Structure 1
C-alpha cells in the first residue's frame, strides 16, 4: 500500500496546486496541468496516471496507474464542467480518496480474489456479487474514514492515507471473512 498512498497523495498534490491544503512533502509538479486543456476526461486521466506513476516496472505499478486513471476519470465524468487546470479542492480530495479505494481494492483482489471464488463453489455470479460488495464497502469506508480524519483536522498526507488503508483492510478481513472460507 505504500506505493498506493504515495500515488494518491501525488494525485491530490498535482490537482490541488496552488491550494494551501496541498501535500507538504510533495516536490515539483509531475505534469503541467495546462497541457491537459481540451483533452477528453479519459486522456486527462491517463496522462495524470502516467505522470504520477510512470513506466511499466511491475504489475503493482500498472494497477496503481489504473486506479489513478479510474479515479480521475470517474470524478471528471461526474463533474463535466470541472476544469482540471483549476480543480476545486473537494474534487481533488475525491480523486485522492477514490485512488486509494480503487488501488486498495485491486490489491485485495490480488490477495483474496481466488479465495472468494473458491468459497463461491464455482458460482461465478456469487463470486462477482461478493467482490462487488467488497468493492462498494471499501469505497464507502474510505470516504467515511477520510471524512472522520478531516473532521479532526488531519491533513491529506501519505501517513494519513496509510493509516486509513490499514484500518479499511482490517475491517474488510473481519467483515468478509466468511467470503474466504
Structure 2
C-alpha cells in the first residue's frame, strides 16, 4: 500500500499548490507544476498528473496506482467543470486525495484478492462483481471517515498519516470481507 499512500500524497502536493494549504511533502517542490496544466482537458490533466506521480508501468501495482490517480482526478474535475486546476479549492484537493488513496488501494487489493473473490463466488460473475463493488464502496467510505477523523483532530495530513490510514483500512477490509475469499 506504500505506492497508494505515496501517490495520494503527491496528488495532494501537486493540487494544493496555490490553495494556501500546506503540501504533504514537507515543502519540497511538487513533481509537476500545476501551472503547466492550465488549458488542458480534464483527461489530459489527469493523465499528466498520473504520469508525474507514477512514471512508467513497472508492475501491476504501478499500473493500478497510475490508473487510480487518473480516474480520481478526472472524476473530481468532471464533477466540478468550472474548477481551475491551477488553484483548486481545498475541498477538491482533499477529494482528489481521498479518491486517489481509495481507488489505488482498491486496485492493489483486487490484484491480491480478486481471483479469490471470483473463486468464492462459485462461477457467478454477478456475485463476484457485487462483492467487489461492496469492497470498493467500503474502502472509499472508510478512507473518507478516517481522513475526516484525523483532520477533525487537527492532525496534519502527511505521508505518515496517509500510510496509517491505508494500513487501518486494509486491515478492516480483510477482517470484514474475509468470508468473501472462502
Normalised by the shorter chain, which TM-score bucket? over 0.9
Work out whether 1:114 is the aligned partner of 2:115. Answer: yes
Cα RMSD, aligned residues only: 1.2
In structure 1, C-alpha distance between the alignment counterparts of 2:58 and 2:121, rounded to whole Å: 33
Work out whether 1:11 is the aligned partner of 2:11. Answer: yes
Partner SS state of residue 23, structure 1: coil
In structure 1, C-alpha distance between the alignment counterparts of 2:25 and 2:7, rounded to whole Å: 14
Q: Could you tell me whether the CA contact under 8 Å between 2:9 and 2:25 is conserved in 1?
A: no
Deviation at 1:27, TM superposition (A): 2.2
Count of aligned residue pairs for this structure pair: 181
In structure 1, C-alpha distance between the alignment counterparts of 2:133 and 2:100, rounded to whole Å: 17
Deviation at 1:24, TM superposition (A): 4.3
Query: Taking structure 1 as the reference length, what is the TM-score of the superposition?
Result: 0.95
Query: Taking structure 2 as the reference length, what is the TM-score of the superposition?
Result: 0.95
Name structure 1 gaps, 5 residues minimum: none
Partner SS state of residue 143, structure 2: helix
Q: Could you tell me whether the CA contact under 8 Å between 1:50 and 1:65 is conserved in 2?
A: yes
Q: Could you tell me whether the CA contact under 8 Å between 1:10 and 1:26 is conserved in 2?
A: no
4+ residue segments displaced more than 3 Å? none
In structure 2, C-alpha distance between the alignment counterparts of 1:66 and 1:26, rounded to whole Å: 26
Partner SS state of residue 54, structure 1: coil
Partner SS state of residue 82, structure 2: coil
Once the two structures are superposed, what CA deviation does each residue of 1:128-180 show, in whole Å capped at 9, x if it has no partner?
01000100110111101100110101111111111111111111111111111
Partner SS state of residue 101, structure 1: helix
